[in-house]
Structure 1
Amino acid sequence: MKFIDSLRISVKAGRGGNGCMSFLREKFKPNGGPDGGNGGRGGSIIFEATTNLQSLADLEYQRNIKGSDGIHGKGSRKNGAAGTDTLIMVPCGTIFYDSTTNNGLADLVEPGDRFLAARGGRGGRGNRHFASSRRKAPRFCEMGDIGEEIELRLELRLIADVGLVGVPNVGKSSILAAISNAEPKIAEYPFTTLSPNLGVLNTGDERVIIADIPGLIEGAYLNKGLGLEFLRHISRSRLLVHVLSFDNYNFDNLIAEFETVRNEMRSYDTQLDERPYFVVGNKLDTVDEPEEIVKTLQSFFDKKNIPFCAISALTGEGIPQLVKQIIKFTNANPRPHSEVRLYALAEQGLEKIPMRQRNKIEIINLHGGGYQVMHKQLEKAVERYDLSQDENVGRFILLLRKYKVEQLLEVAGAKAGDSVTIGYKEFEFYPDYFPPELSKEEASEIQDN
């Protein structure tokens, strides 16, 4: 399967169903009263982490995801059904970013972790909801709210216990095949591995996941070679195994390769420099005097307090010792267990915004002519009120008067016949009010309250 570890998608939750305006019509009940049901809420978009996937390839052809709409309410007090939530499975280790702001939204690590990416719209209320002792026969209802919509950038960082790193063609894939159940592509040329391979080492008590990362070259942290595309996949590994090759052995070149890879990881993320690691010399079968070479390297790494072992993935020499070292580390450093988490988008930070600022009305003079009124409650009213119903028109006018929108528009310079946009609807400005005109100081006070 094609390996994809980064993509952009658009998600839009379902719209809430409309409320119903109806009146009870039954034999012997000539004035049965309002009985319009409420609309159902729209379906939300939810992502869930699973261990059954290792790539984002399943989403490559689902770049636009839309939730199901809620069902409209009906008469006889029948509420509409809620839209079905859309559940999308992603690999463990998937991180979600807002494409517009690049802010991190969620990091799904454990199987079962969930991210509520877009909430379904609230269902509209039927006319029976508005019945009261003063209003016994309301002839209006509400429309359902539009579902949330957001552009997301998904980034996969593999969840592996052990990461195999090194320059190209040192035999990382051969080691992975020798110590796990993986069957990676193996060949005698650089960059045989073009995407990370995962293997599982069964230790009896637990499964150790091992990742073979494509070879790193100088400048990888600047996105040279396969660069940043795969450096991020070692960021979650608990242990790094740095692989060197005895093929065409030269001590100075070998140490230079080692330092190059260490510098690339350090430049990408300083935390990688603090990650536990040990060094493995591979392809022991290609040298004539292995004892002398191993002794030289062992002495060099001992002085730096870096564990070292020599192996041949081809013949199997040293493989049991390598497996023993990996098991020893994983037993001494068990994987931390965390509870399943649910991430949800923040409520736009409203709880941190003072009420005075939250209710502020903003009038924008559009360059193409007309004016835009910016106010959360007015925009919600435009969405919810069915303005083809006379009583809803009256409710909307009362709301405009409450916030003195007509006076504020005149202060901004609006004239009769000008276009005024609120939310997604456009109106013509014909002021119909009787209070005295406002000064700019009074208008500013209203906008701030």
Structure 2
Amino acid sequence: MNHRFLTASLAAVALTLSAESGAETTLSIGTVNNGDMIIMQKLSQQFEAQNPDIKLDWVVLEENVLRQRLTTDIATGSGQFDVVTIGTYEVPIWAKRGWLEGLDNLPADYDVDDVLMAVREGLSYEGKLYALPFYAESSLTFYRTDLFEKAGLTMPDQPTWDVVKQFAAKLTDKDAGIYGICLRGKPGWGENMALISTMVHTFGGQWFDENWNPTIDSPEWKNAVGTYIDLLTEYGPPGASSNGFNENLALFTSGKCAMWIDATVAAGLVFDPAESQVADKVGFAQAPIAKTPKGNHWLWSWALAIPTSSDAKDAALKFITWATSKPYVELVGEKFGWAKVPPGTRKSTYENPLYVEAAPFAKPVLEAIQTANPSDQTLNPAPYTGIQYVGIAEFQGIGTQVGQMMAGVLAGQMSVDNALRSAQSSVKRTMRQAGYPK
């Protein structure tokens, strides 16, 4: 037999087998177990039907676990994930380190100019977009209108933390299983510290002074954390130190909380009669203020990004543009109801009469997102950006450690003063080891 013919034949077979084996690309997607992401997972069958050569493999995790897994994977370059769900904290830090693909090759029909400017800026580094927003949020005060009416109380459009505390005292009825307030207590830089950081800022405090010295043992921190601990200890549900966003959502929608201060993304769930037992009894106001309105409400986006370690970047780009597009928003509206579309990302969503009619919270949510300023969040000058976090790589460890101390206070394991002193000492040591000031 002709050896050249045999070699050519074998090469042709190898190419055919290679083409066949590569016909299907599997995308590994790491995401959080929030309601909007669960909807995305359900609707992803439509994406697979439109793209039969792409198979989606989902890794859905609780928030703290997800952050740990994704950070480890991307820092080591192991390439386990092709699409990662990250936020405004991670994007600029990871982009600077070269861990994320730049997204300057978006299809024209994606209409990136339709994405809200505040959200685009939060997901950019040096003017370049590195993640696409799945949803964006700020924070609001949710409350039970029926309980307020029964108690003869009126929620102002802009409550103070003092007023919230007074209301919580009057609305708590532990015998009836009604708690005056529910707040995040689960430790984590993106769990309890998200709320506590906004409280510290509006009480006039900050994480660091202009020279990167920690200020955690300041009177402002003591006032903010003291208020937080008093609220949950006296008027909150039992086991509050285990409650994050999802746990408090379940408590509120089952009628256990008179007030809840948390992410605006909850609005679509608490107003949904299929999800919430109190859907027709919910009111909302802006997040509470104390000494200053600065930093009282946060800005966040859960976004989809492509690690540079992925070997399926083209397929990943197809998926993230699909899941954050205008047609996807319309798909959610048609399948699950307009009140449940991913909020906070696109101007067109807030210009859509179907959404505005279905979502009484649309205007205040948009206002909260557009007025949150991560670069002007403190009463006194500060060297960092971020409202519910500090935009430096070290904060993930710092915030989680301080969050564990705050949960310890909530669980009665230490006093506020001792916790703040310990946190101050620990953060000071961490910052010195990291070479601050830089």
TM-score (norm 2): 0.20
| Larger relative contact order (CA 8 Å, sep ≥ 6) | 2
More strand by share: 1
TM-score by length of 1: 0.20
Per residue, is there more helix in 1 or in 2?
2
- Structure with bigger gyration radius: 1
